[in-house]
Amino acid sequence: MTPASLQIWILQALEAAGAVAAGVVRAERMSVPDEAHAWFAAGNAAGMSYIKEHLTLREDPENVMPGVRSILCAAFPYDVKSPPSPPPAIAGYAMGEDYHVRVRRVLETVAKQLNERIACRWRVCVDTAPLPERHLAVQAGLGFIGTNTCLIVPGVGPNVVLGELLVDLEITPTEPAPRSCARCNRCIRDCPGGALSKDGRLDARRCL
């Protein structure tokens, strides 16, 4: 299979597996943006110091899987099977089956199907490895980052969970997504803890 045909197959396989958006990025070294360092310096991370400790690891996918050449990114909808509960409500992503288990199962199935077509090494990551998931998702064309700091998938919204499949294959990358947040500031008004700012920063100290 060629890099282009691999892209077509993997996107179709992920869509068939339930992904509402999927894309491919080259596994290249990335630099941590200054905004991330400023966010930590302002104390916005609250008690999540482990994220800062892993910042440099996030710069290079080789730290997650040596020999990786492509990263397949996929967004899946929340597993919500019942109407939302009245406030104070359970977060939508926490309802239904644990998304770590659900998304990992799907991506591992796709990885095994891919390996049947062309031998490869692979690793599945679902919020369990030092990868800049939202950045990769934007670069893969899944969506854009809204003022709420979440990935927003056009036509779907922010109610998605992300997963990545790292492979040692060259796969033609998809195009990055243009930023198109409407800047309506509804997320800022609706945030119960007042944790969001107009410049797109989240203060985890105020996040419920």
**ω before 83 within 30° of 0 (cis)?**
no
Q: Where are the alpha helices (DSSP H) in the chain?
A: 3-16, 34-41, 49-53, 99-117, 133-139, 186-190
Coil/strand/helix, residue 24:
strand
State the Cα–Cα distance between residues 31 and 58, nearest whole angstrom: 8
User: What letter represents residue 58's amino acid?
Assistant: R
Order across the sheet with 70-77: list the strands: 21-26, 70-77, 160-167, 122-125
Which tokens go with 46? 């609250």
Q: Does the annotation count 127 as an active-site position?
A: yes
Angle 7-13-169 (CA atoms, 0-180°, nearest 5)?
Answer: 40
Of 60, 127, 168, 190, the active-site residue reads 127
DSSP state of 26: E
| Backbone CA torsion sign across 17, 154, 81, 163 | positive
Q: Name the residues annotated as catalytic.
A: 127
